[in-house]
Amino acid sequence: MAIHPQTESKIITREPVINDFAFSVATKNGSGSQTSNNVLVRSLFRMGIPVNGKNLFPSNIKGLPTWYTIRASKDGYTARKAVTEIVVAYNDATATEDVSNLPPGGVCITTDKIAKVIKQRDDISYYEIPVTKLMRQTKVPSAFRKLVENMTYVGAVAQLFDIPLELIYQVLLDNFKGREKPARMNHDIVELAYHWTAENIVKTDPYRFENMDGTRGKIMMTGNEAGALGAVFGGVNVVAWYPITPSTSFVDGVIAYRYLRQNDAKENTIAIVQAEDELAAAGIVVGAGWAGGRSLTSTSGPGISLMSEFAGLAYFAEIPAVFWNITRMGPSTGLPTRTSQGDLLFTHFLGHGDGRQICLMPGNLKEAFEFGWKSFDIAEALQTPVFVLSDLDLGMNNWLSDPFDYPDQPINRGKVLDADELQAFIDEHGKWGRYMDVDGDGIPYRTVPGTNHRFAGYFTRGTGHDEMATYSERSDDWIENMTRLRRKMDTARGLLPQPIVDADSDADIGIITFGTNDEAIREARNWLANDDIKTNYLRVKALPMAAAVTDFIDQHKSVFVIENNFDGQLTQLIRLEHPENISHVRSLALGDGLPMTPTWIYENLKLQEG
């Protein structure tokens, strides 16, 4: 089936456009543009305009081209737009391409130097900022000059599209944690460019920002920060990790919020160990989970690969631990700074031999926070590793959200027996064995080291064992154990977060997805509805899948599974679990390294549906 790439039609407009357009900021990596872009996004947020910022950055420290897209949407849509009306072309290496990507009626803000070398178009507005000349007028020490040069476009944008200067100063102060000196130094440049633009540029475009009331009560943060905060509220106490993009900022988040869990003497209830590699990080969290801790590691594809042996051990020996996979594009080193949903099958089946791993797939900030704490309850309730499959888009970009809800359930440590409970168990059942399934749900009772009872100790192993945890190579013991593990996974289906379903009985088309495509699908569904194409929607939040997915598939004449990986992995999983009557299930799989756009969904779904 042919799938169109992510492009967008180019629409020209001369009517005033307020709070409903997008920017693309093209700079060189490492040039300080992160601060400039962050300031623009935060300023719009504080003007009350629903906004998102997506960093499309290279695997590089300094010099390679990098883009940042900012979308303002009065209607509250925050999915990425492939075509932006405005480009800030501050990188000579990409300027020609950046300008050619603009729609007719678009705007190019560039430097006087770059303007001389790029091919001019007659259907867009050009605004040239004399950056070198302006920088010569500043008192910025030469060591900082290159790093603050990008503030010139912030000033120009503020003037051209009506962002108040005073607001930008407040955001700069926040950005520098209240330190006036760097805020002032940056703001001086913003002001300089602002006034120069006011005096020298004649505005010929229709785009403008206006204060509105679309972000009151909302927060803005990255998914990695939200997940980390959730983990802190979930009682995490041992964190082990190895640096890898795009997961590193997750542990940075735990470090930042660790203070919330310190006692009065500033002593920690969270140990954080930077391990020598992901193998060791996995070993540390498995060891901690075995000993009764709440342990977490955060990594991405290559790290998950290294963790697979421990993941299999933890699954088979039934040890709780939480693994965040902030997915980036594979295979191999792949596109290390680009987003992907391509680890779904690998993570779900992680480990050699038979078995399934529990996966949770957050689709937004609130769910990142929720799964941050809930993953521990699930891991301990099921005595198994839990993988939270986030991605680079959610993990590293700023998202808009309602404030997070405080956990609505007390901490659940699962079936752990202390010395008295162990004695009661033995009194009731005649004996205790680590892998005895007395409740019939596949979940046994465990003891943790340090339990003061002469029968509390047992031997944990990845080798074959019977229900007493004794070494066994007997086929019947093996089959019995594997059957119980399968029973446990079936118990999980009902216990895990259930899918989000937005279904209206008279729609024939069903859309299934998971994770961060949610916003793009929401917008695309509204466009489709405007074309009288009604769709129902189901977003899977956990694996193994809930029964509701089967019902949804059965209830629709046509089902599209939309996902941001190349192979259509959720579709494959659905085919695996529902081998009958699924010829009406079609895959819309992307996997181009970029966050999905509503246009791509809209066009391809219409194309397939005919």
Q: Does 212 bind other proteins (CB under 8 A)?
A: no
Q: Which stretch binds other proteins (CB under 8 A): 7-15, 186-194, 198-206, 281-289?
A: 281-289
User: Minimum distance from CB of 317 to other proteins (Å)?
Assistant: 8
Q: Does 255 bind other proteins (CB under 8 A)?
A: no
What is the SS3 assignment for 335?
strand
User: Minimum distance from CB of 85 to other proteins (Å)?
Assistant: 25
Q: Does 289 bind other proteins (CB under 8 A)?
A: yes
C-beta of 133 vs 461, nearer to other proteins: 461
The answer to whether 600 and 590 are in contact (CB under 8 A) is yes
Q: Could you say which of 203, 261, 575, 606 contacts other proteins (CB under 8 A)?
A: 261
C-beta of 90 vs 290, nearer to other proteins: 290
Q: Does 271 bind other proteins (CB under 8 A)?
A: yes
d(C-alpha 90, C-alpha 157), whole Å: 13
Q: Which of residues 439-478 bind other proteins (CB under 8 A)?
A: 447-454, 456-463, 470-471
368's tokens: 């990142």
Q: Could you say which of 287, 334, 497, 544 contacts other proteins (CB under 8 A)?
A: 287
Element at 207 (helix H, strand E): strand 207-208
Q: Could you say which of 14, 166, 406, 531 contacts other proteins (CB under 8 A)?
A: 406
d(C-alpha 216, C-alpha 182), whole Å: 28
* Sequential DSSP letters for 142-169: HHHHHHHTTHHHHHHHHHHHT--HHHHH
For residue 269, what are the contacts with CB-CB under 8 A and spacing of at least 6?
237, 261, 262, 263
C-beta of 324 vs 404, nearer to other proteins: 404
d(C-alpha 161, C-alpha 203), whole Å: 9
Q: Could you say which of 44, 129, 281, 378 contacts other proteins (CB under 8 A)?
A: 281
Q: Could you say which of 108, 109, 240, 492 contacts other proteins (CB under 8 A)?
A: 240
For residue 275, what are the contacts with CB-CB under 8 A and spacing of at least 6?
240, 241, 242, 281, 284
d(C-alpha 535, C-alpha 508), whole Å: 7
User: Minimum distance from CB of 237 to other proteins (Å)?
Assistant: 4
Q: Which stretch binds other proteins (CB under 8 A): 24-32, 41-49, 51-59, 112-120?
A: 41-49
Residues touching other proteins, count (CB under 8 A): 77
Q: Does 269 bind other proteins (CB under 8 A)?
A: yes
d(C-alpha 251, C-alpha 395), whole Å: 11
Q: Which stretch binds other proteins (CB under 8 A): 117-125, 135-143, 233-241, 478-486?
A: 233-241
510 CB burial (10 A radius; 0-12, 13-18, 19+)? buried
Query: Which amino acid type is present at position 450?
Result: G
d(C-alpha 520, C-alpha 595), whole Å: 9
Q: Could you say which of 273, 426, 500, 533 contacts other proteins (CB under 8 A)?
A: 273
Q: Does 421 bind other proteins (CB under 8 A)?
A: no
User: Minimum distance from CB of 53 to other proteins (Å)?
Assistant: 16
Q: Which of residues 494-533 bind other proteins (CB under 8 A)?
A: none
Q: Could you say which of 155, 292, 302, 330 contacts other proteins (CB under 8 A)?
A: 292
Element at 569 (helix H, strand E): helix 569-577
Q: Which of residues 59-88 bind other proteins (CB under 8 A)?
A: none
Q: Which residues of 292-320 are buried (b: 16+ CB within 10 A; e: fewer)?
A: bbbbbbbbbbbbbbbbbbbbbbbbbbbbb
C-beta of 271 vs 501, nearer to other proteins: 271
C-beta of 17 vs 173, nearer to other proteins: 173
Q: Which of residues 299-338 bind other proteins (CB under 8 A)?
A: 309-310, 313
C-beta of 418 vs 577, nearer to other proteins: 418
Distances from the Cα of 64 to the Cα of 26, 253, 335, 560, angstroms:
11, 27, 14, 37
Q: Which stretch binds other proteins (CB under 8 A): 19-27, 43-51, 176-184, 514-522?
A: 43-51
Q: Could you say which of 22, 183, 282, 520 contacts other proteins (CB under 8 A)?
A: 282
211's tokens: 């204060």
C-beta of 419 vs 582, nearer to other proteins: 419
453's tokens: 């009872």
Q: Could you say which of 3, 70, 285, 570 contacts other proteins (CB under 8 A)?
A: 285
What is the SS3 assignment for 238?
strand
d(C-alpha 128, C-alpha 117), whole Å: 12
Query: Which amino acid type is present at position 440?
Result: G
